[in-house]
Amino acid sequence: MQVKTQLDELQNYLVDASNLQGGYADKLFIPQNSAEIAEIIKEANEKNIPVTISGARTGLVGGCVPFGGYLISLEKLNQIKEIGEGKSIAQAGVILADFQKETEAKGFFYPPDPTEWSCQLGGTVATNASGSRSFKYGSTRCYVERLEIVLPTGDILNLKRGEVFAGNDGFIELTTDSDQTVRAKLPTYLQPDVRKNTSGYFSSTKVDAIDLFIGSEGTLGVITEIEFKILPKPKGFLSGIIFFKNENDLLNFVNEAREKSFETRQTENQKSKVENQLDATLLEYFDEEALKFIKGKFPETPENMAGAVFFEQETTDETEDELFLQWNDLLEKHNAEIDVSWFTTTEEDRQKMRDFRHALPVSVNEFIVKHKQRKVSTDIAVPDKNFASMLRFYKKSLKDWGLDYVIFGHIGDNHLHVNILPKDGDEAHTAKQLYGRFIAQGIMLGGTISAEHGIGKVKSKYLYVMYGERYLNEMAELKKAFDPKGILGKNNIFDARYLG
């Protein structure tokens, strides 16, 4: 195991994509296996030393940024152990892009695709990452079947989906590999009525123990190994980036594409797979400002458009033509600018479309770093019925407040990233105030403040606005059951003062 203490060796490990500043750590450990992780954690627990877990540091909320104590990087736990019929087993430090490539090479498909492919699998489980394709396939949670976890006491826990559930008394009881019992009281809040949510610990009427650790943002344990469910690789995809001159047309198109997709899936639930009906795997939005912002990197982007939608649909040789006609009919009905839009069925061009989508958050991050500012980006999702009103509120406020911005993201799930682009301290101050208003509006409309990036350190004060004192105390109670001394992922999700 490598141990590093020099500042120049630690420097790269002290930031993530949120650009949260001020991180520091006394020691960086780069272990080779879970036994070494257990050793470090045991020592830290005995000595009351805070421990932060570092994945690939692509997170957007400062969760892996340490403020003192030990930092553990998972980068050497990078073995894919098995890829077989319907399942795969990998260590937590495997890079998502490598995993997706290997899975596809073996004829399978791992759907979670959080736009940034350099993250580690453990990081994606710890944040329950989702991204564009979760519109059809769901978030990382839907694919996690088993976890190996090192608890903050140094005990190792192996959890299989479907084996341990909370009782009617609201408690859950787990047994570690060394026969220790952990009994935890679960939070009682209800999840908002949205399709994606990563605001705080998982809660539902029937909680499977494994779901508590998915999305726990490095606060309940160190995920060291994961068994995933994988799907058969789709035969092909039809993809398009469609431009619209009128925003109402764009929104009506999205509404109908969403409805038709849900109808197809409902039919699928009742019968077998329906291959020749419209069913989007993703529906992604780019507003007018986003198209202008990206034109520098993609000069072929048409001008004077109100916005664009990126869609994809699974196809086979038999269904490709029929599905193209169905999409074309829908686009014509909603006055899309078909002549300047982009369509493809080839893997190479599809990758270009994904690069176009990925270039947006990357360009925003470059802009923020260049202007030495912190990212001010929403991750709010709202119920279907309130989406149009939320979008109007975003745009009107941004214009009234005179700030530069781009809006893009997962419109299929009513989940957009509004990125405000402050160029100096004054604008950053105004941007933060406006961000607070967006949070309040999102909550008022029954939404979640974080649909996929998590809370980390950057958004914990807004989680207070969403859930209030009582539910943060309940989250702290849950954490204390696993981490009595509160050493792991300090100040992630909620302020450490809730731990007493």
Ligand X SMILES: Cc1cc2nc3c(=O)[nH]c(=O)nc-3n(C[C@H](O)[C@H](O)[C@H](O)COP(=O)(O)OP(=O)(O)OC[C@H]3O[C@@H](n4cnc5c(N)ncnc54)[C@H](O)[C@@H]3O)c2cc1C
**Where on the chain is the footprint of ligand X (CB under 6 A)?**
16-17, 52-60, 63-64, 74, 92, 114-116, 119-120, 122-124, 126-127, 129-131, 217-218, 222-223, 361-362, 452-453, 456, 489, 492
Write out the DSSP string of 245-299: S-HHHHHHHHHHHHHHHHHHHHHHHHSS---SS--EEEEEEEEHHHHHHHTTT-T
Alpha helices of 334-459 — where are they, by DSSP H? 347-370, 387-400, 425-444
Following DSSP, what letter does each residue of 181-197 receive, concatenated? EEEEEPP-PPPPSSS--
* Minimum distance, C-beta of residue 218 to ligand X, in the bound complex (Å): 3
Please report where in the chains the tokens 């989508």 appear, as a residue.
Answer: 357
291 vs 294: CA distance, rounded Å:
5
**Residue 10 or 60 with smaller CB distance to ligand X:** 60
Question: Residue 99 in contact with residue 123, Cβ under 8 Å?
Answer: no
Residues 6+ apart with CB under 8 A from 308: 241, 242, 243, 244, 250, 285, 286, 291
- Minimal distance in Å, beta carbon 56 to ligand X? 4
Q: Are 408 and 287 in contact (CB under 8 A)?
A: yes
Strand 87-91 and strand 171-175: the pairing is unpaired
Q: Is the Cβ of residue 76 or residue 480 nearer to ligand X in the bound state?
A: 76
Residue with token string 């909370």: 166
Measured from the CB atom, the residue of 55 and 307 that comes closer to ligand X is: 55
Nearer to ligand X, 214 or 330 (CB): 214
What is d(CA 301, CA 291) in angstroms, rounded to the nearest whole number? 7
Question: Which residue's CB is nearer to ligand X, number 130 or number 153?
Answer: 130
Helix crossing, 425-444 with 387-400: angle to 10°? 160
CB of 196 to ligand X, least distance (A): 9
Cβ-contact 309, 253 below 8 angstroms:
yes
> Whole-number minimum distance, CB 10 to ligand X, in Å?
14
Decide whether 452 or 483 has the Cβ nearer to ligand X: 452
The Cα–Cα gap between 404 and 408 comes to 14
For the bound state, the minimum distance from the C-beta of residue 245 to ligand X, rounded and expressed in Å, comes to 27
Neighbours of 167 (CB within 10 A): 11
The minimum distance between CB 370 and ligand X, in angstroms, equals 15
CA angle 404, 385, 214 (to 5 degrees): 80
Cβ-based nearer residue to ligand X, 202 or 327: 202
Residue placing its CB nearer to ligand X in the complex, 150 or 428: 150
Q: Closer CB to ligand X, residue 122 or residue 447?
A: 122
Min CB(172)–ligand X separation in Å: 19
Min dist. Cβ of residue 387 to ligand X (A):
18
Closer residue to ligand X in complex, CB, 240/409? 409
CB of 338 to ligand X, least distance (A): 27
Taking the complex as a whole, the smallest distance from the CB of residue 135 to ligand X amounts, in Å, to 11
In this structure, which amino acid lies at residue 381? A
Asked whether the beta carbons of 448 and 380 are under 8 A apart, the reply is yes
Q: Whose CB is nearest to ligand X? A: 123
